[in-house]
Every structure is written in structure tokens, then in C-alpha cells.
Structure 1
């Protein structure tokens, strides 16, 4: 490895120094590249790809260098709280609609869905309670979820973000009772 490293070291130094303006950091990065390459040499698939592999390690090490140097600015507290409040409020309002919407399903689907989602009962316990096999209970809960989703989508338009549902708007006047 050492002889191969000596063959590529000058080119790698040039590559790194074009991307880093601190001469001391260039040496540190080259040292990190050598350590990573020598300790992970077993991952190299063929000797012919060594140069490209070293450049990839150098690139990743440069990116790590910039990530470590970059200070992270904290979000203002009022911004984070405000967004959380909007999402939390939408969830609370929507939660008020769940039980009535579940109750509108046929009892065959409402009961297992209520047990699984609102009461947190295991599917084995649902199967025992309803006199179904475990696979039958799982199927019933799955079908209940599909029917419930169809019912919700027919009733409301949802705004979905990274945290899930962040807002909703009833489509029909009878749905606005939620």
C-alpha cells in the first residue's frame, strides 16, 4: 500500500489543495485519506481501481472537513414552537373526527379498527375476542384501515408535510361537524 500511496500522493495533494485553502488542513486531510485507505484496503475490489478509490476517499474526507467547520445555526425558538403548534392543533382536531368516522364504518370493520388503533389491542387479542384466526384478524384490520382511509379521503383534503398530516379541510358540509 505504501508504494502505491507514494505514486498517488502528489496528485492527491494537488486535488485536495485546490479544494482547501488551509495548508495545514491539506496535510491533515491527506493523512486521514491514507489512514482510511490503509485500514479499509480489504474493501478495494481490484487494484486497477485504486486511484479512483483514493480520490473518492479524499472527496469524502474533504466533505467531512467542511461539515465539521460549518457552524450550525439554531432555529429561533418561536419558529419551531409555532410550526409545532400548528401541527399539534391539526392533529388534535383531526383526532376528534376519528372516532365518529370509525363508527360510521360497518360494525364488521369498525370494531377491529377501534380495538387495534384506538385501544392498542394486539391483533392476536382481537382474533381471540372476535373469534377469528390470527390471519383473519390481520386481514380484517387491514381491510378496516383501507375502508377508513377511503372514508377520510372522501370527507377531507389533507395537507401532508414531513411530520405527517399538518392540516385538513372538509370537502362536504356534513364533514365539517368534526
Structure 2
């Protein structure tokens, strides 16, 4: 293998350097080609195909190099901040709108929903505080959510993306029935 390698080493270096600009990377890739060829020599079917086989290994190692060292463009610092801020503004605006909508719900749904969603109590604690069974509290919270969703969709256009609410806008002409 050593004698064949010495015969092809110069041509392989030239082949690699035409595709890779960094001289240190060219040497690393050439060394990797040698290691792969040496360890996989048993897979070579015919001695006459050695040259093509070495170039195929070189090509694959070059592709691996480019995959591993893919250049990444950095995003501008202000771009990420604008997107995050946009979502936060939508959440704040929506929160201001949700409280009055929740307050318009019948008391049997409003109280469990406020305790669970706004105060963060577990459903078991909501049941204990309101003197309900756990299934009764769960049912009222679910019904309260459904009624709130109905009111919200009647009053507002909500845009939802991968991160949750990303946009929020009051529907035109709903000022009187929606707080």
C-alpha cells in the first residue's frame, strides 16, 4: 500500500487543494484519505481500480470536511430582539383583554378559571377552595376555558405560531360587546 500511496499522493494533494482553500485542511484531508484507504484496503475488489477508489475516498472526505465546517452567517443582534419583543407585546396586550373577558363569565366558571389560570393553583386546590369535587373543578375550568375561547374569538383575531401567540388584534366593530 505504501508504494501505491507514494505514487498517488501528489495527484491526490492537487485534487484536494483545487477544492479546499485552506492548506492545513488539505493536509488533514490527505491524511484522512490515507487512513481510510489503509483501513478499508480489504474492500478494494481489483488492484487496477486503486486510483479511482482513492479519488472516491478523497471526494467523500472532502464532502465530510465541508459538512463539518459549513460556514454560518450570524444574525444581527437587533433582529432576534425585535422578534422576541413582538411576541411579548402581543402577550401583554392579550392579557389586558383577557381579564375583562374572564370577569364577564358566569361566576361558576369565572372563579375556578381565575384561580387555576391567573393565580396558578392546581385543580385540586381550586376544588378544595371552592368546596367542589376534583372532577367538578376540572369540569368548570374546562367549560370556563371553552366559554373564554368563544368570547375571545368573537372579539379578537389571534395569530398563533410555534412560540404561542405572536399577534393579536381586536376585530372591527366589536367595541361595544367586547371590553
Q: Give the alignment's TM-score, normalised by structure 2.
A: 0.61
2:98 paired residue number: 98
Does the 8 Å CA contact 1:170/1:176 hold for their aligned counterparts? Answer: no
Higher helix share: 1
8 Å contact kept, 1:127–1:136: yes
Rg larger in structure? 2
Structure 1 stretches of 5 or more lacking a match?
1-19, 35-61
Deviation at 1:63, TM superposition (A): 9.2
- Relative distance call for 1:24 and 1:134 in structure 2 (3 A) is farther
Find the aligned partners of 2:174 and 2:114 in 1 and give their Cα distance. 25
**Displacement after TM superposition at 1:147 (Å):** 1.2
* Aligned twin of 1:173: 174
The residue aligned with 1:154 is: 154
Aligned to 2:56: none
TM-superposed deviation, 1:68:
2.8
Structure 2 counterpart of 1:38: none
Q: What's the Cα RMSD here? A: 3.4
Does the CA-based 8 Å contact 2:110-2:144 persist in structure 1?
A: yes
Residues 108-117 or 78-87, more deviating: 78-87
Match of 2:134 in 1: 134
Partner Cα separation in structure 1 for residue 34 and residue 147 of structure 2: 60
For the 8 Å contact 1:155–1:175, the answer to whether it is kept is: no
